[in-house]
């Protein structure tokens, strides 16, 4: 993987160098806060491309964080719903066990010691 990345970077560097050398026309460039009297058009293309890539990556990272937060919120909501269902089921089971236990106590308490037969 590292070898492929190095190869791609070398190819991009060679393409960039060829782009600057082939487009040697001098341009006057007005940047908002300053003015460059003479700049090669190929260099201007590379600077514009680099600026676009950097801004795109920064924007992409921010957008990915928003989506990642949304996915995390949805996952947590599902976990909460699952835990609520489990809690309701355990409460119902405990209530059923309590009712069964109280019925058993009633039947044991209903039999008095005088009612016992000698058999």
Is 115 contained in some domain?
Answer: no
Whether 91 and 84 have beta carbons less than 8 Å apart is answered as: no
pTM: 0.50
Domain containing residue 74: 2-109
Is 119 contained in some domain?
Answer: no
Residue 2, number of CB atoms within 10 A of its CB: 6
Is 6 contained in some domain?
Answer: yes
CA atoms within 13 A on the CB side of 70: 6
Is 117 contained in some domain?
Answer: no
**What mean pLDDT comes out for the span 114-119?**
58
pLDDT tens-digit readout, 95-109? 898 888 777 666 655
pLDDT tens-digit readout, 57-78? 888 888 888 888 889 999 999 9
Structurally, how many domains does the chain consist of?
1
Is 60 contained in some domain?
Answer: yes
Is 81 contained in some domain?
Answer: yes
pLDDT tens-digit readout, 27-51? 888 878 888 888 888 888 888 888 8
Gyration radius (Cα) of the chain, Å: 38
The residue among 118 and 83 whose pLDDT is bigger is 83
Is 80 contained in some domain?
Answer: yes
pLDDT tens-digit readout, 79-97? 999 999 999 999 999 989 8
Q: State the pLDDT at residue 67.
A: 86
């Amino acid at each position: 993987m590292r070898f492929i990345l190095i190869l791609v970077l070398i190819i991009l560097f060679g393409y960039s160098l060829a782009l600057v050398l082939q487009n040697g026309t001098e341009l006057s460039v007005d940047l908002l806060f300053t003015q460059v009297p003479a700049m090669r058009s190929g260099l201007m293309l590379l600077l514009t491309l680099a600026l676009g890539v950097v801004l795109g990556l920064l924007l992409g990272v921010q957008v990915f964080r928003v989506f990642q937060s949304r996915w995390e919120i949805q996952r947590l909501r599902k976990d909460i719903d699952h835990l609520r269902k489990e809690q309701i089921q355990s409460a119902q089971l405990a209530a059923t066990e309590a009712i069964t236990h109280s019925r058993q106590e009633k039947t044991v308490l209903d039999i008095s010691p005088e009612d016992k037969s000698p058999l």
